[in-house]
Amino acid sequence: MHVALLRLALGLYSVGFAHSVLTALQKKQTLFRPALISVSVGFVLHVIAIISRAMEVRYLPLTQQYEAFSFFGALATLGFLIAYAKYRIESLSIFAFPLIFVMTFVANLFYDPSASIPPVLRSNWIYIHTPLVILGYAALFFAFAAAIMYLIQEHALKSKHPVRFYNWLPSLEICDDLAYRSLAIGFPLITLGIITGALWAQAVWGVWARDAKVLFSFLTWLVYLLLIFYRLIAGWRGRKAAYLSIVGFIGVLVTFLGANIFGGLHTFQ
Amino acid sequence: MQLALVGLSHKTAPVELRERLAFNDDALRLALKSLVGRNDVSEVMILSTCNRVEVVAESADDHLIREFLCEFHQISPDAVSNHLYSLRNADAIRHIFRVAASLDSMMVGEPQILGQVKEAFRIAADAGTVGMHLSALMNRAFAVAKKVRSETGISQAAVSVSYAAVELARKIFGDLGGKTVMIIGASKMGELAAKHLKRNGVSSVLVTNRTFERAVELAQVFEGAAVPFEHFTDHMDRADIVISSTGAPHFIINKTLAEQIIHRRKNKPIFFIDIAVPRDIDPTVNEIDNAFLYDIDDLQQVIDANLKERIMEAARAEKIIDSEVEAFCLKMQSREVVPTIVQLRDSLEKMRREEIERNRRYLKDLSPEQQSAVDHITKSMVNKILHIPIEQLKQMVHDPAGPDFIDTIRRIFNVKPPQ
């Protein structure tokens, strides 16, 4: 049943995706309301899908690639709904809806009913390490989206060629606030994620630094550490913080998606 | 319903003429009462603002209204005839919808006009000179205005310096609550911009001026604090928005000073608005991170872009108006057609019965069959006579000439319009 539900959720998310594409093409938001409703309903189905999968397999469904992507998609939706409830910024949807759609789509693509947990991953660590990392990445995605919106809005203001298309963008202060809060949530999560990963690796192999994914995640973590440092100590905000946040998220993407490209322990096959 | 609208506006008449034809509140009541009941004028309202004077009446006779306007204001008809416009039925409805939706305004999209139209309607309603038709029309006009406002962007974009300042400040700070504005120099335009910012949520105002007394005076107006001009830079880090409009011949805020301020503000953004000519703030200040500088030309550029946008949005608004006018005409005409048909049938049926009654004594020798044949023949004659007019009436629902046609049919058959 969870597969059907997930597909249904994907169908509903596609309305959100269409909204983003149309907004980018027409430079005007016309579909936001229906898209918001579809995505919200999709989210409910998605959560039910994850729960029913968990009940079926009797473990937290995070061990297979498809489960991880599905979990990421659901978290991104949750994050968007929370941010929307707080700031009422419709424009965030233009970044969030495609991510939600793509993550859920990839989850559907990778679904493999015959797959079982690889023996190497049969450990309780997986239920701590994976959710922490995915939660962290989802939060950092919103920091990234806020940074992009900040830069577009800032450029429009500085260049003094105000384009009406940008009127749907939130104010600089809200973008910066959203970026900072997302970072404040995401950074501790990925920090814990890395620590638990290290402990787990230690427990299984005794060493842990020979994996591309581990290396990239550590580099990414350093970028975010730098960002936190500059924000707190040097009072960085706005443009410089936004640039660093974007660099950091590129690191996240390489880390999250790159495992299969570079190979290594996280390939799990 | 027959609708006539006679008026003049900023588009057709100079202000000298508009003010001569304008009505104050007392004159308005007097004019409404003396116009209603003249000839066929059954309902009337008058809109009188500084940009337009318009008489809307349920009447087929716009000449009468023109004459009345001249007579009331004691102006020779020749002096105004080229400036007055007369519109009837669908054209009048379209005009009223456009006026209420602020499409006919001097500043398209300005929000005051709808309130003025509502007030004009209220005065006429109080004076008892509006009835079913004008009420239906005006209520629709209010709804159309609301629809235009919510579905198009014609009144969203800022088209004056003060509004542009508020709009830009919102793009930087979002909510202006809790923000502080500093006014440097006491010019009218600076004061106006500060007033708008305050109205939009800015909570405290600092004023500085070369003449300290003037600063104190202005600070009182805004319930803010005056700052001595010699020390204004010491207080500037408290300001989120700085409006500068001094008469200084050189820059009073240079890049180094702005950098220091930003540093003291721990990189919190600051919005400089330089409305002085010659300029008060070094344009390179805009290159500093988290500092945003707009001079008077930059603000004008924002306004121009917004005006262009308004023109595009106005085109969308016109489309809404078109379909609304059509829908309203259809509704009004179909509302008139059905009672007219009923009245026509009733009136001819009454005529037929009266004729039979009058000739009863010649008919009484006829057999019952023959009597019923007479009845049948006269009935079918009435039906034949009415067949074409009724068919035409039904078709006229969709025709812009509908009201005139309905009126003609009524005159020919001598039936009164329903009240």
Residues of A in contact with B170 (CB under 8 A): 171
Give the lowest-confidence range in A96-100, B161-165, B181-185. Answer: B161-165
Q: What is the pLDDT of residues A24-68, one digit of tens each?
A: 777 666 778 888 999 999 999 999 988 888 888 777 777 777 788
CATH number assigned to the domain with residue range B3-151, chosen from the 4 options 3.30.460.30, 3.40.50.720, 3.65.10.10, 3.30.470.20: 3.30.460.30
Contact B286 A153 (CB under 8 A): no
Are the Cβ atoms of A171 and B292 closer than 8 angstroms?
A: no
Is the pLDDT assigned to residue B8 strictly greater than 90?
yes
Class of domain B164-301: alpha beta
Place of tokens 């074409």: B388
Closest CA to A1 of A61, A75, A52, A65: A52
- pLDDT per position as a tens digit, B299-332: 888 888 888 888 888 888 999 999 999 889 888 8
Tell me the mean pLDDT in the region B144-165. Answer: 81
A242–chain B nearest CA distance, Å: 12
Distance to chain B for A233, nearest Cα, Å: 10
> What mean pLDDT value characterizes chain B?
89
For chain B, what percent of residues have pLDDT higher than 70?
A: 98
Contacts of B412 (CB under 8 A, 6+ apart): none
* Nearest CB to B294 within list A160, A161, A173: A160
What does the alpha-carbon distance between residue B148 and residue B104 come to, in Å, rounded to a whole number?
13
Does residue B22 contact residue B48 with C-beta atoms inside 8 Å?
yes
Instruction: Choose among B171, B268, B301: nearest Cβ to A153.
Output: B171
Residue B272 phi/psi, 5° resolution?
A: -95, 130
Q: Is B171 on the interface with A (CB under 8 A)?
A: yes
Residue B182 banded pLDDT, cuts 50, 70, 90: very high
Calculate how close chain A gets to B241, using CA atoms only, in Å.
Answer: 14
CB-CB: which of B267, B290, B298 is closest to A160?
B298
Cβ–Cβ of A164/B290 closer than 8 Å?
Answer: no
- Grade residue A3 by pLDDT with cuts at 50, 70 and 90: confident
Q: What is the pLDDT of residues A7-22, one digit of tens each?
A: 889 989 998 888 888 8
d(CA B326, CA B252): 60
Indicate where chain B has its CATH 3.40.50.720 domain(s): 164-301
Residue A172 near chain B (CB below 8 Å): yes
Q: Could you tell me the CA-to-CA distances from A87 to A173, B174, B414 in Å, in that order? A: 11, 10, 66
Q: What is the pLDDT of residues B194-211, one digit of tens each?
A: 888 988 899 999 999 999
User: Per 3-state DSSP, what percentage of chain B is helix, strand, and coil (rounded to 5)?
Assistant: 60, 15, 25
Interatomic CA distance for residues A59 and A251, integer angstroms: 30
Q: Please tell me the predicted confidence (pLDDT) of residue A163.
A: 61
Q: Report how many helices (DSSP H) and strands (DSSP E) chain B contains, helices first.
A: 16, 10
Contact B302, B158 (CB under 8 A): yes
Nearest to B138 by CA among B50, B46, B200: B46
Domain boundaries defined on chain A: 1-117, 120-269
Flag if A160 and B173 touch (Cβ within 8 Å): no
The confidence band for A269, taking pLDDT boundaries of 50, 70 and 90, is very low
Q: For residues A131 and A190, what is the distance between their CA atoms, to the nearest angstrom? A: 10
User: Torsions phi, psi of A163, nearest 5?
Assistant: -100, 130
Which tens digits make up the pLDDT trace of A109-146? 877 766 666 666 667 777 788 888 888 988 999 999 99
b/e burial code for range A33-46 (CB count within 10 A of at least 16 → b): eebbebbeebbebb
Contacts for A64 with CB less than 8 Å, ≥ 6 apart: A110, A112, A115, A117
pLDDT in tens, B99-111: 999 999 887 888 8
- Please say if the pLDDT value at position B396 is more than 70: yes
Got the DSSP string for B124-156? Answer: HHHTT---HHHHHHHHHHHHHHHHHHHHS-TTT
**pTM above threshold 0.80:** no
- Please give the share of chain A, as a percent, with pLDDT higher than 90: 23
Q: Where in chain B is the domain with CATH 3.30.460.30?
A: 3-151
Confidence of residue A147 (pLDDT cuts 50, 70, 90): very high
**Which residues of chain B neighbour A236 with C-beta distances below 8 Å?**
267
pLDDT at A262 over 60: no
B69 interfacial to chain A (CB closer than 8 Å)? no
User: Quick one: average pLDDT of A234-254?
Assistant: 88
- Tell me, what's the pLDDT at B85? 94
Catalytic center residues of B: 50
Q: Closest CB to A238: pick one of B156, B170, B290.
A: B290
Mean pLDDT of B182-186: 90
A158 is written with which tokens?
A: 């500085």
Check: CB of residue A122 under 8 Å from CB of residue A143. Answer: no
| CB-based contact B286 A158, cutoff 8 Å | yes
State whether A160 and B170 contact (CB < 8 Å).
Answer: no
Distance from the B230 Cα atom to the nearest Cα atom in chain A, whole angstroms: 29
pLDDT attached to residue A261: 53
Interface test with A, best of B150, B175, B202, B290 (most A CBs within 10 A): B290
Concatenating the DSSP letter of every residue in A134-174 gives: HHHHHHHHHHHHHHHHHHHHHHHHHHT---GGGGGSPPHHH
Average pLDDT over residues B55-68: 90
A188-210 pLDDT, tens digit each? 999 999 888 888 877 777 665 56
Q: Which residues, at least 6 apart from A59, have a Cβ–Cβ distance to it below 8 Å?
A: A117, A127
